[in-house]
Structure 1
């Protein structure tokens, strides 16, 4: 088993985060400038949809609906030009009956289209969310260190939901309307080319307005989305740090922060609404201008008996059909722009590539017989940023972790101890040197196999929202009840669990809020014991336990580590008296090594650290 600690010096972390943010911002801006409407539609319909036949079927149905829309004005024309002049009740009944039949059939096809669209839309958006989640969770550690949780939540929820608008009945109805548009345009030119030409002259103005406002609306929604992410981050931080807020009575401070972000989001949305409020009336005016032209010219043609009244009424309906795809596209423009912004943010994630991958010829983790070797290892955080130059976190470090022995790392905070454990688990790749397990390079071992053979218990206790059993067997889902109770006993938490009404089925709450610090620590130890890995890394694993429990756990861990390689990060030096090897780390280098007795005899840095804890 292994234990592993992710913290490092605050100065280094803050510097790295600042640089990562700058790099991420540059990448984000570049990706946003490269996203296009065509690319977005290709991504959604080409990559996400797994059943293209549903899309094709929907387009066919929508085309049939559009053709039926073409027939409806013919009923109006026939009634006005033939039924009313003839005062024929029988003709009226037949025409109205056919009208109702057409509307009924249209309603049935509308139901089918809406239902199929819902199936297709939900399936597509679920596929996309799952795809993004799988991609996100496999990114490297440094990505999550420089990313905001709230922002990632917005990308996985709201941004994906915005893309769902692209697979809506309103959007896909445009596809069917395009066929009708072409047919109706030819028809109106055939009926009266003068009026058709006059109406067609309004179309360029519609496209001009769309082009002008497209960028404005998109930019407004991009800012709104960014401010929403900031607001979500603040909300997420508040919910996860509520005890700190209560303890330091900073409710007013946090409320003011949230108010500022909420008002920023409000202003951005108002700006987007203002652009939309200007855009929609302009489109409506141009549409009514086309209708006014038809009324003016059509009435004159009726006066001259070049057009019947029924033909004029039908012509007006066909003009509406011509304008429908254009106006529908205009009304959907804000949805498209919101979706385009969300698509760009999703592409920001999809553009990232994990740097730590399995080698083509990677092998399984070897059966440890000799141990682990660090051979002249040097590592600097964030080395992939060419504009930054950091001091190495560890420099030219060499040491062995012999099989079956306990090796301890000691030193001040920020000295490089946690960096060594991070490299051991290959959360980062080293710059120079080599790490080997029984002679096999860490880069030649499959990542999954490597980490399955390392059990981790750290100061930072990670408890999932579930039962005690869920937490103990996390990472070992096939564990039996007997195995759970066995490791619970070794971790000295079995008596506590048996005293609970639901025992192993007891819910621990979010982040283990129903448990004490010591209980959380023992569950984490039980989880590591159950993993039964070859290497154990302990980062002050018993720090939250009382003295009596600590003795029990130490004894259990000593028995467990007899057959395993172990690495212990020790802040409380009294816990490592019996370590086979102690490595003293300072400023990224190993400055002393030996056992407790030999290091105390050296009268060096280790002795200073040891005596300082007992002054």
Structure 2
């Protein structure tokens, strides 16, 4: 996915708080708690001033006790409302972030095949986890309090000008300095974190690739090579994080220094006013507290810069996915799958991939209830045709129809629900044998599962293991042999009971003995069904009702096994080459 210009901060907040507004009562409760917290914080300096200017000079112990009680009650109330704010903010934050993550996951899995071919798995995982987590900082008590503190800023700023306009004017000089520092570092920190997030995505992708190809790495003893590759990406991420940390390390102390300058100004001028008798010590202490309340919104806004910039970088990466639209979509008047009682017809089908034409005017039909074999050398376009039949891609021109209904007018979900594919690469979920067999039909009973396991010649094996259907297959089915995984895939296809079966090199990776054992299961699968069989070993398709021969993306021959041998054309050459 291509990088785009950084999105606006406003667009990011609109995106995130769109989920927050669905639970307005939580937002109202948090705003109310934060308002009360602000009011209580306003009271505390007044209590301090009262003790210093009134209670101490009068040496009134009883009044001191009552004032301290008021102070402690105020502090206790402050703690209670801080707890409520923090807790309900966490509830609101987790609800919203979970909804955003679910929305993003749904958006990803709705994309078509081309999207996943151009995306890195590790990078998508980073967007679903770390990038979404970065947005969570926007829905926090600190972030929400910034909005409330802006009102406090205006109110207290007016108050300190009313109390002593000279000191207020002097300390106000520091405010533009804080905003200047903010503007200088805003772009620097955002760009640094952008580079860091990019390299983090590369690092995640490298880890994912390594862990899923561990057998290849072990067999070629390339551990050192892979460690070096990962080390380079990790080092790039380290440098980018250090760069971001450097800007952050300069930014935060700069803001603190400006605040200390403001306090120094107040202490200097306040001391002069006290010496002149124009100000009391208690009033100066309260004034310093109020100045801190004025500085707090600016300071907190500045300190949240890093979080906002990180979140904005993550939002930009998330936005690339939310804006992505699948190319293969349902027609407006899409209909349900019409059934398969006559034929699947391909007429003059062409298809190009990355400016390279793969299929050139392919024409043939797949008669209902018959087995059609598709053969040809590697790269001739066999697997591409299977992808056309399920609309993983759309054809460039020509027509594919099921019983006379154009494939482009059939709803995608209905189309794919009526096609079962068993391929050379068996996909297994990390669950039990039961989970994998009934993956395409979740409401299937155990009796249904045992029935298809028997047809797939796998029931004896499952009965023989202690946990039976509850046996965990492991990640990618690593606890099963290749033949056992293939028969699980066959059982899954049998349970789906789809009108069209596609076998894409289903036995190519098996030895002769395993292939013979599975052939019986395949025969059960294909009985009385319309099927398209792609086979590398031509001996396995001799009994097909028709054989279609592809060469360089074109149909060059059609017929039965014997008629094609007698023709002594492309099929005969392929067949004889396997036995030379």
Question: In the alignment, which residue of structure 1 is the partner of 2:412?
Answer: 447
* Larger RCO (alpha carbons 8 Å, 6+ apart): 1
CA contact (8 A) 1:577 1:596 kept: yes
Question: In the alignment, which residue of structure 2 is the partner of 1:499?
Answer: 464
Question: In the alignment, which residue of structure 2 is the partner of 1:400?
Answer: 365
1:259-338 to 2 correspondence within 5 Å? 259-338=231-310
Q: What is the CA distance between 1:229 and its match in structure 2? A: 0.9
Match of 2:118 among 125, 142, 146: 146
1:250-265 to 2 correspondence within 5 Å? 250-265=222-237
In 2, distance between residues paired with 1:199 and 1:223?
38
Indicate how the Cα distance of structure 1 residues 254 and 552 shifts in structure 2: closer, same or farther if over 3 A, else same: closer
Q: What is the CA distance between 1:48 and its match in structure 2? A: 5.5
CA contact (8 A) 1:525 1:541 kept: no
CA offset digits 1:464-510 (Å, max 9, x no partner): 11111111111111111111111111111111111101111111111
Question: In the alignment, which residue of structure 2 is the partner of 1:412?
Answer: 377
Question: In the alignment, which residue of structure 1 is the partner of 2:214?
Answer: 242
1:326-475 to 2 correspondence within 5 Å? 326-382=298-354, 390-475=355-440
Question: In the alignment, which residue of structure 2 is the partner of 1:487?
Answer: 452
In 2, distance between residues paired with 1:358 and 1:417?
25
CA offset digits 1:540-583 (Å, max 9, x no partner): 22335555654454344335434221101111000000111111
CA contact (8 A) 1:365 1:446 kept: yes
Tell me whether 1:202 sits opposite 2:159 in the alignment: no
In 1, distance between residues paired with 2:482 and 2:551?
30
SS at match of 1:393: strand
Indicate how the Cα distance of structure 1 residues 71 and 214 shifts in structure 2: closer, same or farther if over 3 A, else same: same
In 2, distance between residues paired with 1:357 and 1:55?
38
Tell me whether 1:54 sits opposite 2:19 in the alignment: no
CA contact (8 A) 2:337 2:411 kept: yes
CA contact (8 A) 2:508 2:536 kept: no
Q: What is the CA distance between 1:358 and its match in structure 2? A: 1.2
CA contact (8 A) 1:364 1:450 kept: yes
Question: In the alignment, which residue of structure 2 is the partner of 1:165?
Answer: 137
In 1, distance between residues paired with 2:270 and 2:513?
98
Question: In the alignment, which residue of structure 2 is the partner of 1:5?
Answer: none
CA contact (8 A) 1:218 1:341 kept: yes
User: TM-score, with normalisation over the residues of structure 2?
Assistant: 0.98
How many equivalent residue pairs?
580
Structure 2's unaligned 5+ residue stretches are: none
Tell me whether 1:99 sits opposite 2:71 in the alignment: yes
CA contact (8 A) 1:60 1:176 kept: no
User: TM-score, with normalisation over the residues of structure 1?
Assistant: 0.92
In 2, distance between residues paired with 1:191 and 1:48?
40
Structure 1's unaligned 5+ residue stretches are: 1-23, 383-389
Match of 1:533 among 498, 501, 506: 498
Q: What is the CA distance between 1:175 and its match in structure 2? A: 2.1
Match of 2:204 among 218, 232, 236: 232
In 2, distance between residues paired with 1:376 and 1:545?
34
Tell me whether 1:113 sits opposite 2:78 in the alignment: no
CA offset digits 1:443-477 (Å, max 9, x no partner): 11111110010001000110111111111111111
SS at match of 2:22: coil
Match of 2:146 among 162, 165, 174: 174
